[in-house]
Homo-oligomer: A and B are copies of this chain.
């Protein structure tokens, strides 16, 4: 059996890839040493993923490795920060080399894509738990904060929403006859939706492109309505959303109106960006989106009046009961 240190050394230690001047010392000492660029701020976020809660016990280890880093990169994206590095803490019930090889493969492939270096970590025996802390760089005053939305701002969302939540509904057999006939476990439609759940795409390029253009931003991990709610609370504003113009995922778009509304508004695991920008910045937002090769959709506006108002396609008020995903309330 591999010892803890052999294990770390074999799967997670490698020559630095990115040659970032900001990394003075990586894996292997009591601490890693980072040097942010002159005058730069360091953006820091941490996310913990637990078996049975954030992923299935039989989750594919390659996509799991991808997802664990992706959800952290998504937080950097929501701040407009450029990824630099991350630490990984890993509790494993036992050492399975095949699993570790695949997990580190998925993790490090995404890390390489974003030139984000693994600089430290910890491994221990315990129920499967993966905790990543990620570091990015941004210039002072340029971070996209939750408290910066202003009345009159447009509200935008990147990509599409709800396919991840739809895949979860199929796994859980929550919906039966309401679903389109092609959406069965193992079908092509299902696999398409499940990919959104298992391999989210952090909108890293878009977040950076929006610096100086967007006011507030957040990444959508717990559902649009709930996450937008954090912007509203911290900015002391309200919002009106055009529910039927929310961009549904490719598979969700073929479901009925009630399911579409519910899963675009209160899905979860989307890892798209929701952001606000002044109405006179529409051209700049679209240009930033194009430069980042990421679609964006205008979905509503920020109001001085507190609360979240939902409108349908005919501009009538909708009264939907929504519960954003909350880790302690949802079981």
Contact = CB atoms under 8 A, between A and B. Distances in A.
Given A31-B136, A33-B138, A34-B44, A53 B122 contact: no
B44 A119 contact: yes
B79 A48 contact: no
Given A125-B331, A129-B91, A45 B1 contact: no
Copies of this chain assembled into the complex: 2
- Chain A residues touching B, range: 35 or more
Contacts of A54: 124
Contact of A125 (B33, B125, B327): B327
Contacts of A329: 1, 3-4
A48 B28 CA distance: 16
A152 interface: no
B81 A31 contact: yes
A162 B44 CA distance: 36
A44 B127 contact: no
Contact of A90 (B30, B36, B48, B146): B48
Interface string A38-82: 100111111111111110000000000000000000011011010
B326 A3 contact: yes
B4 A219 contact: no
Interface in A80-136: 81, 87-91, 95, 119-127, 129, 131, 133, 135-136
Contact of A7 (B28, B38, B217, B328): B328
A133 to B, nearest CB: 4
A287 interface: no
Contacts of A46: 87-89, 120-122, 131, 133
A138 B34 CA distance: 10
A145 B43 CA distance: 25
A54 to B, nearest CB: 7
A7 B328 CA distance: 10
A136 to B, nearest CB: 7
A127 to B, nearest CB: 4
A2 interface: yes
A313 to B, nearest CB: 31
Given A35-B140, A125-B327, A127-B129, A29 B146 contact: yes
A242 interface: no
Nearest to A71: B122
Given A1-B328, A53-B124, A328-B4, A145 B29 contact: yes
18 contacts: A3-B329, A25-B143, A25-B145, A29-B147, A31-B43, A32-B44, A33-B44, A33-B79, A33-B143, A36-B42, A38-B38, A45-B87, A46-B131, A48-B129, A50-B127, A50-B129, A123-B327, A124-B327
